[in-house]
Structure 1
Amino acid sequence: MATTLHEFTQFVDPKTFPRVLQIQSGIYYQGCVYEMFGRECSLSTGDLLKIIDITITRFTARSSNNTEVDIPVEYPGLFKLVSDSQPYRSIQEIAVSLNISSHRLGQPVFLSCLEIDLPQGVIRERDSFRITAVTHKLNGGHVQCELLHREPKFCFSLSFSQQGHFIEGEDDQFYTLKEIAEWKISKGRKRTVTEVKAPAKKDFLFSSLLENVCGELILSPVYELKAVTSLSEKFLLIPSNLDVEVVDVTEEFDCDSFVQPLSLSDVFKRPPEFFPVLAKLSSESHFKLSPELESLFHSTQVIIHYAFYAKRILASELCRESARRFLIPESYNGRFKRRPRQFPTAYDLERARSETEQIRVVATREFESVYNGLVSVQAGDEFLVTKGKSCAVSHNGIEKATDSFECLKVTGKSHGAEAKEPVCLPMCLEGGFMELVRDKRQYTIAEICRWFPLPFNVKVSVRDLSLKLDVLAGVPGLHIEEEISDPCLLVSNVDLSEFREVSVNRTDLILNIKQRWAGESSTCGGMSAIEEISEDCYYTLRRYAVATVTPPPRPPKTPKHPPPRPPKMLSSRSESANSETSSCSPMSLCVEPFKQDDFVQCSDSKNGNDKKIPSSPVIFPRPTLQKALAKGRSLDDISIEKNEDDDNDVHDYEYIDEVQLDNIRREYQEQHINVGVKGKPSNTI
């Protein structure tokens, strides 16, 4: 039965591609196929098309005053979704209409308006649940779900035949139009959105597109079909609103009789039994390739062995301006030495707590505390963050921010031994801390990711000798940020002398699939190069890299009106530091009684037991920054200057010497005595 191309687009399931269509009522200007502006505008009656993909190229946006604007999916603004009020009557309708996957954006949230009885329990009315996976079977299928806002965690499955009244849940995230087109619009439905961030003025192509449009926008998708014919090796891009009638004749024709030009993304989506295949680079134009890939695809044919996810380490150059971004493969054979880390707040310092080592830092700014149980900080004071897990993580995995955390303060040295005392620092302390690195060992990139919590600062000490040009060797320092999973294809030449890992998302190639490879397929990994990526690519990777990881809790907010200062009982800071009744003393932790709610349960990594530590009875205001000293240099300047000098040091010793640290303390004390008569510092609470 003949249907219009628009009707076929509305009801076809992309999972059933490829489909073969025959043109029943064509439209043409000159010849069989007439191409205009890169889109097919004419097709003759009787033409056969093999549809291999369907995408949304633009949206028609209608505003509240009935103004219509065409917006391409490349529009760089951000939008907030308005929940769809039209209900879904069954789980099958949800599974067919939405793109559901393990990706964070592909896990929709729904509310059940009816009570559902299940063997595992009862889904109450107005309960919200997230769909995490979908399974298709011949006689139906089911979805895996996770109930929200209920402890303990409750997971269950719903079959496609489950009837109900399901409404889309509220979504407070912001999305680009490209993300909405791929994940957040149901097939056959429209989507209502509001713009929350317009493009920058310098982006003159889009900045004025929605300038006179305000309020809610109703988006209607405009689809485009990607097709091939038996006469050409090129893609045909056909708009779905082309005025032609088609008939689905997939069962009557062999899909393999058509040439199969596929992008790397299309090849990656193929099932495992599709590989290995013999492919040839299409004659269509492509972006410039790296020298490594240029030599590989220069051959007539290549073998695609299998698709997989490769581990990459995202890193940034340690510099003040125009930092370069890199993707480092796990197979990188260079060696790294540690570089000192900077922790802007005590919250950042506590989040960096490691189970493998103690973190030794020196304070770079002064902080005077007037609260019981919290220590005052002088610039140059040393602190040790002991081994263990972060105190913000409780025993049952639920993260909760605390107001303070406990560490050790180095109070002095005698006969080669350090004197330490336990102290508490407020999470909101913006004092700034510089790490003291005494570790001279050299690490591989895999050891850094396995032994230390990221982010981490390093510098290449021994370059990778297997590379002709190691771009990381000339970088003064690297900020190792996180590990990501990068979709790749293992590609080799026909004689199996060269294997390469080819990234799917960052390589624009069209391949013509010839046939399956009958020879032996290699199971070994291929070579992978260090990639320098653009700023846009970097932020896209950061957005999707840790989609399944729960973000850390936010640090405590500071109140607008801080509590009144208690009366000072001691005459000087030195007397206060040595007194047992001092507000900076560990003994003062038990002066004010804590309520039950003021305790946070933490895991003790040393003996495996759970213990409760008190959180502060108040929320601490954010201290104001101290003004620069009247003369002399601050410790921040000294630290930065030292790091810059380290880059030119042939020995590459990346630690602060104890003698130099004593000189810094002595210089600061002399400056403090000179300016101390003018008044106390202003950054006190």
Structure 2
Amino acid sequence: MALTLQEFTYSLDPKALPRIIQIQSGIYFQGSVYEMFGNECCLPTGEVIKIIGLNISKLSAEIQKEGPGSTCIELPLDYPGLFKIVADSEAYYTIGDIVKSLHICQNRLGQPVFKSTVDITLSNDTIQQGETIMFTSLGERNSEQFVNTEVMRKDKKHTFTLPLSQQGEFYECEDDQFYTLKEIIEWKLPKGRKRAVNLAKTSAIKEFTFCELPENFKGELTLTPVYELQAVMKFRKDIVHIPSSLDVEVIDVTDKYDINSFVQPLSINDIFNRPGNNFPIVAEIIEGPEHTVESLKFLKSCKEVIIHQAFQAKRILASEIRSDAQKHFLIPCTYNGKFKRRPREFPTAYDLEIAKSDKEQLHVVATKAFESHYEGLETVFVGDQFLVQHRKTSEVIYGGTQKTVEALACERIEGKVYEPVLIPMCMEGGFVEVIHDKKQYHISEICHKFHLPFNVKVAMRDLSIGEDILATMLGLHLEEEITEPCLLITPLKNLSECWEIPVNRIKMSLQLLHRPDKGTEPPPVKTVVEEISEDCYYTLRRYVNATLHPPPRPPKKPLQPPSKSFKLEVPQPKRPDAPSSPKSPHVNPLKPFKPIKVVSPELKNATPQYEFMKITATESNLQKVRSSEKLTKEEDDDGHDYEYIDQDEVEDIRKKFQEKHTENKTNCKQRTGNQYEEHM
């Protein structure tokens, strides 16, 4: 039975590809033009076509206006934003309907969640009305398909298998996750239904993408996919793209034709999944990638390549250290540049406990004050310096009641004096790391010796790369070590080069030809540092975090502080305690206010030949140090001098701080005197 191309497209199951169709009623574009704008526009009657893929070429987005009517716009597939999905209000009446409509697999994005409006009675249990049912994977037993599901009950996971014939009334649950448009297209567009979404976040690079979406749009969009078919013709070697909207009629003749009589193009993902004994092999590039990094541009012009092997390559996911418009990178472990450490920032004491290492002692400066409501645990002032030890359980008094709480054992540094203290694990303070290590490290050494995340900057660029994009960064935040599937490829026109081609981020089609000559060994692998988009970054972070168990939550701070506690002025220069008096029995005597000077003492557990700067305990001075460091880096950037600040520059900074302290000393003493009078 003949179908229109649109009807055939909607009925096509991607899992059943390839299919062979024959044109029953053809269409010609102006009688002679065969291909236009990269799409097949003319299909003569009787032509036989092999359909090898089904893609979404664009999205039609319907914008609901206030009042009657709506507006339809075209939303580009590479629109740089994050979306939240609106739950489908239309019911599914069988499990089979859900399986046919949505992509279900073991990938976390392919695990939709539904609720049933009626009880589902099974042989050994009952799924109650309103319980959330997560569809995790498909299975088959005795030629009957079923779906594996999970139901959470009192923090315990219960698994069930439901046949596709199971009837009921199922509604999609609300989803609080954010998705890129590409993820929605791949995982969250139900077949035969529209998908409503809300725009949650727009990327900073939106201005470089042409889009008809109104500026600062905050409403709801209803997405409808527009499909195109990837096909192979009888007498053509390349892959053609056929719009599903062409006015032609087709019939499925797969059972009457030999599929192998057509060209056999394979995606690099198909090649990656082939057995290991298939490699090495020579392949012809049928369709090269549309977008790729500069160093892999040869894939667009190269005709034949040697595929040496398929493997999992290690990458370090990194971000530029800056507050706005961050750049994100994937750094291979073969990167030959060297890094030196940069201070890390820790928002809580809990983060300090996670970051501490057995190989070196963590030394930090407090950048935010925190008042402890526990008697027995220390109050932290801006500028306090600590050597972090370990977590400890401590007996404290809170509101006149003795309690057992988690605390962080540290040593507070007062000049050359080291005082053991306990600070609350629940403190919502802030700390910045003090670095004593001036060594330079390869990225593999960093992953081996230290815990990620980790802050670094390039000290010596990779000379094997023409333009090392990492060398221009003021600082890098190394976040996670990930693995991604890759093919090791050498172009036949240049056998001295070998490249790692990421399977999931480059789309191209190849045809396998023959085995290479014996003795063709892969040359050394070329290093490629990739700058990735924000969408790709969030996608990689999502997959990484999905494989990790979340850490336990840090303890919460007390809800109601004791009535006799003393409220600190935040921030204050350095430990201005109020004097003891009959009205305030739990407050320590006032110490004379002394601005902390820039000195260079030798610390316990620190390498003797290295000095560190003890920064003045005010947030403004900490900001000046960061600004000075940034200025120094920018001035030296043209010469690519990534060495530490020399001693003359340190003396210059020290003089500036001393002048600033002298200027503010009178004001600080006057302010401290006013505080003394208030508390008396």
Q: Figure out how many residues of one structure are paired with residues of the other and give that number.
A: 619
Name the SS of the counterpart of 2:98 in structure 1: helix
Contact 1:88 1:94 (8 Å CA) reproduced? yes
Match of 1:489 in 2: 487
Contact 2:338 2:442 (8 Å CA) reproduced? yes
1: distance between equivalents of 2:217 and 2:471? 51
Alpha carbons of structure 1 residues 563 and 536: separation in structure 2 relative to 1, 3 Å: same
Name the SS of the counterpart of 2:10 in structure 1: helix
Residues 226-265 of structure 1: pairs in structure 2 closer than 5 A: 226-261=230-265, 264=268
Contact 1:354 1:387 (8 Å CA) reproduced? no
My pick for the range that moved more, 205-214 or 20-29, is 205-214
Alignment equivalent of 2:366, drawn from 360, 363, 372 = 363
Alpha carbons of structure 1 residues 534 and 389: separation in structure 2 relative to 1, 3 Å: farther
The offset of 1:388, in angstroms, is 6.5
**Is 2:89 the counterpart of 1:96?**
no
Contact 1:336 1:459 (8 Å CA) reproduced? yes
State the AA in 1 paired with 2:56.
I
Match of 1:375 in 2: 378
2: distance between equivalents of 1:111 and 1:72? 31
1: distance between equivalents of 2:264 and 2:529? 29
Alpha carbons of structure 1 residues 547 and 519: separation in structure 2 relative to 1, 3 Å: farther
**Is 2:136 the counterpart of 1:132?**
yes
2: distance between equivalents of 1:448 and 1:479? 12
State the AA in 1 paired with 2:410.
L
The offset of 1:15, in angstroms, is 1.3
CA deviation map 1:561-595 (0-9, x unaligned): 9868536599982877xxx985799xxxxxxxxxx
Name the SS of the counterpart of 1:178 in structure 2: helix
**Is 2:110 the counterpart of 1:106?**
yes
Match of 1:566 in 2: 564
The offset of 1:138, in angstroms, is 8.2
The offset of 1:19, in angstroms, is 1.2
**Is 2:670 the counterpart of 1:677?**
yes
My pick for the range that moved more, 314-323 or 97-106, is 314-323
2: distance between equivalents of 1:207 and 1:502? 31
State the AA in 1 paired with 2:412.
V
1: distance between equivalents of 2:504 and 2:567? 64
Alpha carbons of structure 1 residues 353 and 663: separation in structure 2 relative to 1, 3 Å: farther
State the AA in 2 paired with 1:57.
S
2: distance between equivalents of 1:100 and 1:636? 50
CA deviation map 1:448-484 (0-9, x unaligned): 3355333211234565576676554565542212233
The offset of 1:533, in angstroms, is 1.0
My pick for the range that moved more, 103-112 or 67-76, is 67-76
Match of 1:503 in 2: 502
My pick for the range that moved more, 129-138 or 247-256, is 129-138
**Is 2:477 the counterpart of 1:479?**
yes
**Is 2:641 the counterpart of 1:641?**
no
Alpha carbons of structure 1 residues 143 and 269: separation in structure 2 relative to 1, 3 Å: farther
Match of 1:410 in 2: 412
Contact 1:105 1:183 (8 Å CA) reproduced? yes
My pick for the range that moved more, 58-67 or 19-28, is 58-67
State the AA in 2 paired with 1:479.
H
Name the SS of the counterpart of 1:99 in structure 2: coil
Alpha carbons of structure 1 residues 49 and 210: separation in structure 2 relative to 1, 3 Å: farther
Residues 134-533 of structure 1: pairs in structure 2 closer than 5 A: 134-135=138-139, 139-148=143-152, 150-160=154-164, 162-196=166-200, 203=207, 208-209=212-213, 217-261=221-265, 264=268, 267=271, 277-282=281-286, 286=290, 290-291=294-295, 294=298, 300-318=303-321, 324-346=327-349, 348-350=351-353, 352-354=355-357, 357-367=360-370, 372=375, 374-387=377-390, 405-412=407-414, 418-424=418-424, 426-429=426-429, 432-440=430-438, 442-461=440-459, 472=470, 475-493=473-491, 498-507=497-506, 510-515=508-513, 517=515, 527-533=525-531
CA deviation map 1:51-109 (0-9, x unaligned): 11112233444548353514334345554333223333444433332122343322211
CA deviation map 1:159-213 (0-9, x unaligned): 5455544332211234444332221122222323445567889749766546899
State the AA in 1 paired with 2:185.
A
Contact 1:353 1:388 (8 Å CA) reproduced? no
State the AA in 1 paired with 2:432.
M
State the AA in 2 paired with 1:254.
D
Match of 1:3 in 2: 3
The offset of 1:28, in angstroms, is 1.9
Contact 2:23 2:43 (8 Å CA) reproduced? yes
Percent identical? 43
Name the SS of the counterpart of 1:501 in structure 2: strand
CA deviation map 1:330-380 (0-9, x unaligned): 233444432221335546545534566542101235555566455332333
The offset of 1:229, in angstroms, is 0.7
Alpha carbons of structure 1 residues 119 and 673: separation in structure 2 relative to 1, 3 Å: farther
My pick for the range that moved more, 220-229 or 546-555, is 546-555
Match of 2:595 in 1: none
2: distance between equivalents of 1:562 and 1:2? 75
My pick for the range that moved more, 201-210 or 419-428, is 201-210
Contact 1:384 1:408 (8 Å CA) reproduced? yes
Contact 2:328 2:534 (8 Å CA) reproduced? no
Alpha carbons of structure 1 residues 452 and 225: separation in structure 2 relative to 1, 3 Å: same
1: distance between equivalents of 2:16 and 2:97? 17
Name the SS of the counterpart of 2:156 in structure 1: coil
TM-score norm. by structure 1 comes to: 0.73
TM-score norm. by structure 2 comes to: 0.74
CA deviation map 1:579-616 (0-9, x unaligned): x985799xxxxxxxxxxxxxxxxxxxxxxxxxxxxxxx
2: distance between equivalents of 1:525 and 1:159? 52
My pick for the range that moved more, 180-189 or 460-469, is 460-469
Name the SS of the counterpart of 2:340 in structure 1: strand
CA deviation map 1:392-446 (0-9, x unaligned): xxxxxxxxxx9985241415477xx7332223265322xx422122345554423
Name the SS of the counterpart of 1:180 in structure 2: helix
State the AA in 2 paired with 1:677.
Q
Contact 1:350 1:390 (8 Å CA) reproduced? no
Match of 2:15 in 1: 15
1: distance between equivalents of 2:215 and 2:565? 57
Name the SS of the counterpart of 1:71 in structure 2: strand
Contact 2:49 2:232 (8 Å CA) reproduced? yes
Alpha carbons of structure 1 residues 316 and 266: separation in structure 2 relative to 1, 3 Å: same
Name the SS of the counterpart of 1:529 in structure 2: coil
CA deviation map 1:246-292 (0-9, x unaligned): 11122222323223455545655778787665322347795576346
My pick for the range that moved more, 269-278 or 53-62, is 269-278
Contact 2:6 2:245 (8 Å CA) reproduced? yes
Name the SS of the counterpart of 2:255 in structure 1: helix
The offset of 1:17, in angstroms, is 1.4
Match of 1:397 in 2: none
- Unpaired segments ≥5 residues, structure 2: 395-403, 569-574, 590-615
The offset of 1:534, in angstroms, is 4.8
2: distance between equivalents of 1:350 and 1:303? 49
